[in-house]
Chain A
């Protein structure tokens, strides 16, 4: 979805080789966002399981979950960086 939006936005402003570069950048960004999405799903799913099993340790599970989400999101940010570098090249 993000790749599609990015590609459409890029296509509105580009042509020829720049357009192809924009499509590549958009697709790369979208593909790079899939992995962290799966990772965040795993992190949150397991945190919810931990909270359901031991409600008294919910605070610790939430702390770990927040850190896990943030570290996983760094991968998506790297994908975003590659998108910007490809798109602005």
Chain B
């Protein structure tokens, strides 16, 4: 009985998704400016701001997703299901709200915004996947220097 009660807390002790989200944000801050620079080169200052805005939204999206999983996992696996599904809805709502917030401003360009939104999300995920460990000893990121 005591083991059963301790199980959810034990599962919530480590937070591999938080480590991965932090790593994704770090990589986004390193690689993102390249994409923002390309958009700035094509669309000028409007492209720069729109692309930077989209990059910021994507990084916040990753961080928020990981934080919700870590928080809900600490409480119970049941709340994890609710947290992830609610979080999905909330994050899509935030993206929609963020778009409606700036769509009529003078600096907003739709094309660099959507290109950065999709490209940054997919590229950062694929980039991160290469550094993910799937061993029981190291859930989350691979230890530095480990062979693939």
**Residues of chain A whose beta carbon lies under 8 Å from any beta carbon of chain B:** 1-2, 5-6, 9, 29, 33, 36-37, 40-41, 44-45, 48, 51-52, 55-60, 62-67, 69-71, 73-74, 76-78, 80-81, 84-85, 88
Contact = CB atoms under 8 A, between A and B. Distances in A.
Contacts of A74: 118, 121-122, 125
B69 interface: yes
A48 B139 contact: no
B110 A63 contact: no
Would you call the interface of chain A mostly helix, strand, loop, or mixed? Answer: helix
A33 B113 CA distance: 19
A23 B129 CA distance: 37
B110 A85 contact: yes
Contacts of A5: 93, 96
Of A40, A51, A64, A77, the most chain B CB neighbours within 10 A belong to: A77
Contact of B16 (A29, A45, A59, A69): A59
B118 A62 contact: no
Nearest to A30: B92
Interface stretch (B30-38, B40-48, B79-87): B79-87
B134 interface: yes
Contacts of B20: 63, 66-67
Given A44-B81, A51-B11, A66 B110 contact: no
B60 interface: no
B65 A36 contact: no
A48 B121 contact: no
15 contacts: A2-B92, A2-B93, A33-B92, A48-B81, A57-B136, A58-B11, A59-B14, A62-B16, A63-B20, A64-B134, A66-B66, A67-B20, A70-B125, A76-B88, A80-B117
